[in-house]
Chain A
């Protein structure tokens, strides 16, 4: 049977929910009005299950499962917010804040940052881990955009939108572990990139102030977030 036509019933947070067989837990939860926090997920590009913010508990599974890539199954019982899950999500956010140099007060994305919003929603008023204060550069060589590695959370939305939607694949990751960094072409100044089309999609999808438009600094709307909605349409899906 066509998985899009097949319907599964499951329970999300004690609420009976029906979903198409090809939907993920995240999609089914959103349709049902249940909120699951996400960071690396972006409607319209492939999911990678990397940020671990959307981990949920599924009855019968001893592992926590990422809602963004786990398909619904008949009779599944999902818990999206337990004490344990919330504790882990807070710790993930704390790890991110301690990893690089996130100073909201002086950030272009202050008030329009997904990391900041998630932190507020999780009542994060301090970070227990020691800050690592890495010395990271800012690349302002592009005529319209800038990249501040201090604010990057390595969600790779920019990499995916550039490769999958724009088709330029200007961005990728270099190095590994704590030394990973997003790069343009051969890790060269963005302004010298031969492949960048200056379409700006990477800037708009960046959840933080790592990628920003130079002329939007200091404005109330540093990012055009409504642009996100069109992405999935461009990708041929309307859901």
Chain B
């Protein structure tokens, strides 16, 4: 495959699509699919066959506004329909190319669509994730060919460094630096691993990217393999994402068939292949060393670092581990250049970030925004604010390792440093909005229960400490706690955070610490007045009866 051949495929696909008349696109990502968008697609196809004008029905990836699913778009024209049912199919097909159906139309002029900037999700909802030609027609694999034929591996690493891209898995480690470390190791065998074990509750960014544009992730991994000198890649996907798994397998098969994956890619000396590994439902496997153990077929328990995976990873070989969104950012950076990417975002956090916006917010779904946008803009403009006239209370970012941010900090920009200052973290991109019906002590207990259940049990502070912290929080929620319990909780937070072996334990106290920081009065109310202002906890009398 050369650039010319690639462009021929791209042109052929574009021409065929242009000649095919109107396109009716149905979202077949998991959100809409669970609303039976597959049946909807069949109904549309049936209608399209009957229709006189040429009209093609396509299945695509995620269109973003998942809470209004199933979503359908009609191209050209960009008309978007919401909450579409199979019985709407005749009307939609009839109106394709004509006047849009007002009763189903979802305006694209709203902030939810207008305020977003799509890089990672640029193809999401626009192409058929099971057709590599469509990805190629959308400039897919151009970046990879450019890297393989025009750039040295060192130049690719430099390009990524200059782009300012930072790890999208949560910690924000500079991607170029990580690649450079692996590239510099002197080893004949190296590995590239894509961490798609998206385990944070309230996060579905990686799932959406894998389901909507799987080739993009493969291209990013191949470029990384070339840059660091690896010839084998592993894609570690959660078992809970069967659709993403299926689409990845299809994507890998297609890429191999076109010679974009495998031996001597595009006729160069570079060979690279990717194998999918299925996770087993263990949150801790998102931790790099646990992920490695799991790929090796073992219990996914972390080990102390150093040595870091970049030096000693899978089977002791240098291993580069990045998350889905990081790899998905790479093709565009290589294709359009580091400067273009670095111009987006803030001085220290470049580019865009994908968030899964959910909870008590009107527009639930997947969004991509430039770094540095404020929390208020994301929640109140893109998200449309809190529904049912309720009052905003907090936004949770970073999952079980993150924290809850209250109203007074909503004008802070979203970037790695700002969120850390606020006692939370960027995390992988889950953003859960809470209103005044949520009890912050109960929220802290919810996350502690998660950490306790997901602790691998290897180190004592995390294994036994999370269980004790959960007990203290339960006592507070139940109105059985004293000030001494709160003191014990605080000292445990300090100790577990400082002494745990891996990130899971080290960050487990964060939800408690951040709620204590901003909502201490709620803790005290539970302890002193045996009262839960949100009415979530059964404090006082009710708890006594239960005990």
Q: Do A and B bind each other?
A: yes
The chain A residues found within 8 Å of chain B, CB to CB, are 48-52, 55, 63-64, 66, 69-70, 84, 87-88, 91-92, 95-96, 98-99, 128-130, 132, 153-154, 173, 175-180
Q: A25 to chain B: closest CB distance in Å?
A: 12
User: Which among A64, A69, A70 has the highest number of chain B CB atoms within 10 Å?
Assistant: A69
Q: Which residue of A is nearest B461, CB measured?
A: A52
Given A177-B454, A178-B463, A179-B457, A64 contacting B468 (CB threshold 8 A): no
Q: Which residue of B is nearest A92, CB measured?
A: B460
Query: Across the interface, do A173 and B299 meet the contact criterion of CB distance under 8 Å?
Result: yes
Q: B280 to chain A: closest CB distance in Å?
A: 11
Give A198 to B501 CA distance when docked, in angstroms.
33
Between A and B, 8 residue pairs with Cβ closer than 8 Å are: A52-B499, A64-B498, A88-B499, A96-B464, A128-B488, A176-B282, A177-B454, A178-B455
Within B281-316, the residues touching A (CB, 8 Å) are: 282, 284, 299, 303-304
Q: B427 to chain A: closest CB distance in Å?
A: 20
Give A96 to B471 CA distance when docked, in angstroms.
15
Main secondary structure of the interface of A (DSSP, over half): loop
B452 in contact (CB, < 8 A) = yes
Residues of A within 8 A of B53 (CB): none
Q: A87 to chain B: closest CB distance in Å?
A: 8
Residues of B within 8 A of A52 (CB): 459-461, 499-501
B536 in contact (CB, < 8 A) = no
Query: Across the interface, do B467 and A178 meet the contact criterion of CB distance under 8 Å?
Result: yes
Residues of B within 8 A of A63 (CB): 498
Q: Write the B443-459 contact mask toward A (1 if CB under 8 angstroms, else 0).
A: 00000000011111111
Give A50 to B468 CA distance when docked, in angstroms.
18
When the two chains form the complex, which single residue of B457, B488, B492, B498 contacts A178, counting CB atoms closer than 8 Å? B457
B491 in contact (CB, < 8 A) = yes
Give A128 to B458 CA distance when docked, in angstroms.
23
Main secondary structure of the interface of B (DSSP, over half): helix
Query: Across the interface, do B457 and A180 meet the contact criterion of CB distance under 8 Å?
Result: yes
Residues of A within 8 A of B466 (CB): 177
Query: Across the interface, do B460 and A50 meet the contact criterion of CB distance under 8 Å?
Result: yes
B225 in contact (CB, < 8 A) = no
Q: A91 to chain B: closest CB distance in Å?
A: 5
Residues of B within 8 A of A51 (CB): 459-460
Q: A23 to chain B: closest CB distance in Å?
A: 15
Residues of A within 8 A of B471 (CB): 129-130, 132
Give A154 to B466 CA distance when docked, in angstroms.
16
Q: B463 to chain A: closest CB distance in Å?
A: 6
Residues of A within 8 A of B498 (CB): 63-64, 84, 88
Q: Which residue of A is nearest B491, CB measured?
A: A91
Query: Across the interface, do A129 and B488 meet the contact criterion of CB distance under 8 Å?
Result: yes
B495 in contact (CB, < 8 A) = yes
Give A95 to B464 CA distance when docked, in angstroms.
6
Closest 7 CB pairs of A and B: A180-B457, A95-B464, A49-B304, A177-B455, A177-B457, A99-B464, A52-B499
Q: Write the B174-212 contact mask toward A (1 if CB under 8 angstroms, else 0).
A: 000000000000000000000000000000000000000
B167 in contact (CB, < 8 A) = no
Q: B311 to chain A: closest CB distance in Å?
A: 13
Residues of A within 8 A of B465 (CB): 95
Residues of A within 8 A of B453 (CB): 177
Residues of B within 8 A of A55 (CB): 499
Give A179 to B457 CA distance when docked, in angstroms.
8
Give A132 to B465 CA distance when docked, in angstroms.
12
User: Which among A52, A66, A98, A153 has the highest number of chain B CB atoms within 10 Å?
Assistant: A52
Q: B364 to chain A: closest CB distance in Å?
A: 31
Residues of A within 8 A of B461 (CB): 52, 92, 95
Q: Which residue of B is nearest A53, CB measured?
A: B460
When the two chains form the complex, which single residue of A49, A91, A177, A180 contacts B303, counting CB atoms closer than 8 Å? A49
Given A52-B501, A154-B463, A95 contacting B468 (CB threshold 8 A): yes
Given A178-B455, A180-B457, A98 contacting B499 (CB threshold 8 A): no
Residues of B within 8 A of A130 (CB): 468, 471
Residues of A within 8 A of B458 (CB): 48, 50
Residues of A within 8 A of B303 (CB): 48-49
Query: Across the interface, do B501 and A154 meet the contact criterion of CB distance under 8 Å?
Result: no
Q: Which residue of A is nearest B498, CB measured?
A: A64
Q: Please name 4 further chain A to chain B contacts, defined as beta carbons within 8 Å, in addition to the given A84-B498, A177-B454, sorted by A numbering.
A: A48-B303, A49-B303, A63-B498, A173-B457
Query: Across the interface, do B304 and A177 meet the contact criterion of CB distance under 8 Å?
Result: no
Q: Which residue of A is nearest B492, CB measured?
A: A91
Q: Write the B85-111 contact mask toward A (1 if CB under 8 angstroms, else 0).
A: 000000000000000000000000000
Give A175 to B468 CA distance when docked, in angstroms.
19
Q: B462 to chain A: closest CB distance in Å?
A: 8
User: Which among A128, A154, A176 has the highest number of chain B CB atoms within 10 Å?
Assistant: A176
When the two chains form the complex, which single residue of A49, A88, A173 contacts B501, counting CB atoms closer than 8 Å? A49
Give A99 to B468 CA distance when docked, in angstroms.
9
Residues of B within 8 A of A66 (CB): 304, 501
Q: B357 to chain A: closest CB distance in Å?
A: 30
Residues of B within 8 A of A96 (CB): 460, 464
Give A175 to B499 CA distance when docked, in angstroms.
22
Residues of B within 8 A of A179 (CB): 457
Give A177 to B464 CA distance when docked, in angstroms.
8
Residues of B within 8 A of A98 (CB): 464, 468
Q: B524 to chain A: closest CB distance in Å?
A: 21
Give A130 to B466 CA distance when docked, in angstroms.
13
Query: Across the interface, do B455 and A176 meet the contact criterion of CB distance under 8 Å?
Result: yes
Q: A14 to chain B: closest CB distance in Å?
A: 23
Residues of B within 8 A of A88 (CB): 495, 498-499
Give A96 to B460 CA distance when docked, in angstroms.
7
Give A84 to B499 CA distance when docked, in angstroms.
11
Q: Which residue of B is nearest A179, CB measured?
A: B457
